[in-house]
Amino acid sequence: MDGMQQTATIIADWIVVLPLVLALMGAAALVMRRSSTSSAVLAICVVLTIIACEIALLLRVSFAGPLSMTMGNWLPPFGISFAADAFGVVFALTAALVTLAVLVYAQGERASNDGRDGFHALVLLLLAGVTGSFLTGDLFNLYVWFEVMLIASFGLIVLGGSPAQLDGAVKYGFLNFLATTLFLLSLGLIYGLLGTLNMADILRVAPDANPAALTGIAALLLLAFGMKAAAFPLNAWLPASYHTPPVVISALMAGLLTKVGAYALLRVLILLLPSSREVLEPVLVVIAVATLLTAPLGAIAETNLRRALGFLVIGGIGAVVAGIAIGSHTAVAGAGFYIVHAMLTMTALYLVAGLIERMTGETDSRRMGGLYAASAPLSILFFVLMLAAAGVPPLLGFWPKLLLLQAGLEQGDWGGIALVVALILNAVLTLIAVSRLWAHMFWRDGMEGSGAEPQPLVVLSRNEAWLRYGTAGVLTAAVVALGLWPNGLLEIIGTGAFDMIDPSRYVSAVGLAGGTP
Amino acid sequence: MEHVLAILVGLFVALGIYLLLSRSVIRMLLGMVVLGNGVNLLIFTAGRLTREIAPIVPDGLSVPAGPIANPLPQALILTAIVIGFAMFSFLLVLAYRAYQTLDADNTDTMRLAEPDNAPNPPLSY
């Protein structure tokens, strides 16, 4: 029996799929609960367990290199593989931490809610989709996790069902469903060309395939993942929908969803089809420059707070695409680091925006003002996060941008220089956009045109204030601390980038290194 | 046979994209269905077509004796159909709710999340 595995999987290797199993079972348990008083507690416990598993997994991966597990006793090209390398595990861990913060924060908002609307189950399902996308080693399986993530986000974005949400959900739903359909289309073409969808197996057979056909498929994947990631010409759905649902849901989606698209792009173009990436390089440079420049301009023109933040989310995707366009080890490390930074910083910014909206009762920055006098801690949180988003040292956002700038200068040709210029302009424009928002909301005496009359603010209950300020504060502290001591993260991300560029460790972990099956 | 199916896939995708370019939400939904079926047919064709040889390994052998029909695309398509149907049902209900609430089937008049007449951004810093 050539294709069958004779020995049982080592118990310790189950840790690769344990985060997923936990998230899916947690979601199922929450759906079946009739009384929902403790559903939040259950959800938080599940996420804590997932975090513990992922920390253990991260330790193993950083000592022993990539780790893999294949389902159902079939050897890799036949069974579905899960493969955890440094990039996947770091992103999955960050995603779980962000989810934990959002769940705790939501307790402040949802204290009066009985929790029967399925919020917690959908959040766990979303986390399962995101974690699965980060840890899978099979392209069709990646498609399945994309759809799990998509259906959970559909459920979340319409939760509450206000008219604006329905409007935003129509645009979000159609464009994202179209993107995953295009992804499926390119999967069909890959299967027709290579006869396999296992990532390690694709690495083995792709060099012998027709390069023109592969590049065509890579371009189609770029279209599909670019749409999921909200890269420049395909980003209209993000500012149209992300500001409509309740703020905890916005924060979760802004933190996780577009980054999964960016990660898939990284995985496919850097790891799987590097020769096609070289052909597509001019296209990637143009997309990255356009995304980096247009996104902060959109944020400057926008007065709705959360819509302006939506444009900043898009700008971060531009930086990741810039790393893919350069493609060197430093650039890939920069792109990976940027994904971690964007997950933490964007979620924290949305959570702080939620506090601002809750206290002022407004969503439009023109109708806010005088918040500095009313709440100094809030203004400090927003100030720190806005500097982190723009990439001001010594905060977290600085290091990935430094890596990307270094990589662009090392490359030295017109593309590299264009990306360096665009990254610097992006930082300046982002700083203008966010500092203007800060000046309007916090520094101005009262709302626009009202003179010096300070705005009456909603006073939060003690419990709510603790939960909301606490989670936003902890995330902000993480952004500051990781910016001051980035070495550990840099090292792990560097290993991940190394495994992306030179996949030999990845392939042998999946078990396809020796000869033909 | 593959060539005929390839042309058919092309027709399905073209029709799906044509419908998706419409402003009416219902037409866009139909476009998604047609496009999804085109993609499923593409996966089916990509697995190469072999007629009347069931993929069954005979007793006593560990690999099939000769060329067989490829069973994998059917598993892939089955997954894709289930997922596509779930997404389609969600979008159908969403379109109906949007029609009830916003009284709009035309995407051009759905401007609640992004108001049409938004004032200019403030010029102050």
Say whether A366 and B122 touch across the interface (CB within 8 A). yes
pLDDT recorded at residue A517: 39
pLDDT (tens digit per residue) in A211-233 = 999 999 999 999 999 999 999 88
Say whether A184 and B80 touch across the interface (CB within 8 A). yes
Range of the domain at A101: 11-510
Global pTM?
A: 0.93
Let me know if residue A120 belongs to a domain: yes
Q: Which residue of B has its CA nearest to A301?
A: B121
Collapsed DSSP state (helix, strand, coil) of residue A130: helix
Collapsed DSSP state (helix, strand, coil) of residue A112: coil
pLDDT recorded at residue A506: 87
Mean pLDDT of chain A: 88
Measured over the CA atoms of residue A411, residue A417, residue A418 and residue A419, the dihedral's sign is positive
pLDDT (tens digit per residue) in A149-194 = 999 999 999 988 888 889 899 999 999 999 999 999 999 999 999 9
Q: Is A221:A183 a contact under the CB 8 Å cutoff? A: yes
For residues A432 and A442, what is the distance between their CA atoms, to the nearest angstrom? 15
Report the run of H or E that residue A508 belongs to, with start and end: helix A504-510
Residues 157-196 of A with CB under 8 A from B: 158, 161, 163-171, 173-174, 177-178, 181, 184-185, 187-189, 191-192
Let me know if residue A3 belongs to a domain: no
- A chain contacts of residue B121, beta-carbon cutoff 8 Å: 300-303
Let me know if residue A5 belongs to a domain: no
pLDDT recorded at residue A322: 95
Question: Above 70 in pLDDT, residue A462?
Answer: yes
Q: Is A221:A193 a contact under the CB 8 Å cutoff? A: no
List, in sequence order, the alpha helices (H) in A302-413. 305-326, 329-360, 371-374, 376-390, 398-411
Label residue A208 exposed, middle or buried (CB < 10 Å: 0-12, 13-18, 19+).
Answer: exposed
- B chain contacts of residue A364, beta-carbon cutoff 8 Å: none
Say whether B98 and A166 touch across the interface (CB within 8 A). yes
Q: Look at chain A and count its residues.
A: 517
pLDDT (tens digit per residue) in A329-380 = 999 999 999 999 999 999 999 999 999 998 888 888 888 877 888 888 899 9
pLDDT recorded at residue B104: 74
pLDDT (tens digit per residue) in B5-52 = 999 999 999 999 999 999 999 999 999 999 999 999 999 998 888 777
Query: Mind telling me how many Å the CA of B52 is from chain A's nearest CA?
Result: 21
DSSP state of A270: I
Maximum separation of any 2 CA atoms in chain A, in Å: 82
Say whether B113 and A167 touch across the interface (CB within 8 A). yes
Residue A393: cis peptide before it, omega within 30 degrees of 0: no
Say whether B35 and A181 touch across the interface (CB within 8 A). yes
Say whether A440 and B124 touch across the interface (CB within 8 A). yes
Residue A362, token pair as written in the block: 């407004």
Domain count within chain A: 1
For residues A358 and A77, what is the distance between their CA atoms, to the nearest angstrom? 52
Q: Is B122 on the interface with A (CB under 8 A)?
A: yes
pLDDT (tens digit per residue) in A385-434 = 999 999 998 899 999 999 999 999 998 889 999 999 999 999 999 999 99
Say whether B91 and A174 touch across the interface (CB within 8 A). yes
At what angle are helices A86-109 and A39-64 packed, to 10 degrees? Answer: 160
Q: Is B110 on the interface with A (CB under 8 A)?
A: yes
For residues B44 and B73, what is the distance between their CA atoms, to the nearest angstrom? 5
Q: Which residue of A has its CA nearest to B45?
A: A192
For residues A50 and A48, what is the distance between their CA atoms, to the nearest angstrom? 5
pLDDT (tens digit per residue) in A36-56 = 567 888 899 999 999 999 999
Minimal Cβ distance to A303: which of B73, B91, B122: B122
Query: CATH second-level architecture of B2-51+69-107?
Result: Orthogonal Bundle (1.10)
Query: What separation in angstroms does the CA of A264 have from each of A22, A377, B94?
Result: 23, 37, 28
pLDDT (tens digit per residue) in B57-84 = 778 777 777 777 888 888 899 999 999 9
For residues A140 and A197, what is the distance between their CA atoms, to the nearest angstrom? 6
Percent of chain A with pLDDT over 70: 93
Say whether B46 and A185 touch across the interface (CB within 8 A). no
Let me know if residue A4 belongs to a domain: no
Collapsed DSSP state (helix, strand, coil) of residue B111: coil
Closest CA to A385 of A307, A472, A294, A306: A472
Q: Which among B5, B39, B72 is the top mutation candidate for probing chain A, defined by the most A β-carbons within 10 Å of its own β-carbon?
A: B39
Let me know if residue A449 belongs to a domain: yes
Q: Is A194:A206 a contact under the CB 8 Å cutoff? A: yes
Phi, psi at residue A74, to the nearest 5°? -95, 145
For residues B98 and B93, what is the distance between their CA atoms, to the nearest angstrom? 8
Report the run of H or E that residue A470 belongs to, with start and end: helix A462-484
Confidence of residue A516 (pLDDT cuts 50, 70, 90): very low
pLDDT (tens digit per residue) in A281-320 = 999 999 999 999 999 999 999 888 999 999 999 999 999 9
Collapsed DSSP state (helix, strand, coil) of residue A83: strand
For residues A205 and B67, what is the distance between their CA atoms, to the nearest angstrom? 21
pLDDT recorded at residue A1: 41
Closest CA to A81 of A506, A517, A514, A418: A506
DSSP state of A206: G
Question: Above 90 in pLDDT, residue B119?
Answer: no
pLDDT recorded at residue A514: 46
Q: Is A87:A499 a contact under the CB 8 Å cutoff? A: yes
Residues 348-377 of A with CB under 8 A from B: 366
List, in sequence order, the alpha helices (H) in A71-209. 86-109, 119-135, 139-157, 163-194, 199-205
Q: Which residue of B has its CA nearest to A192?
A: B46
How large is the average pLDDT for residues A472-481? Answer: 94
Weakest mean pLDDT among A206-210, A280-284, B87-91, B114-118: B114-118
Let me know if residue A362 belongs to a domain: yes
Let me know if residue A2 belongs to a domain: no
- A chain contacts of residue B119, beta-carbon cutoff 8 Å: 303, 366
Say whether B90 and A154 touch across the interface (CB within 8 A). yes
More confident residue, A3 or A171: A171
More confident residue, A15 or A491: A491
Minimal Cβ distance to B125: which of A171, A177, A436: A436
Q: Is B37 on the interface with A (CB under 8 A)?
A: no
Let me know if residue A265 belongs to a domain: yes
pLDDT recorded at residue A37: 62
Q: Is A134:A145 a contact under the CB 8 Å cutoff? A: no
For residues A252 and B26, what is the distance between their CA atoms, to the nearest angstrom? 30
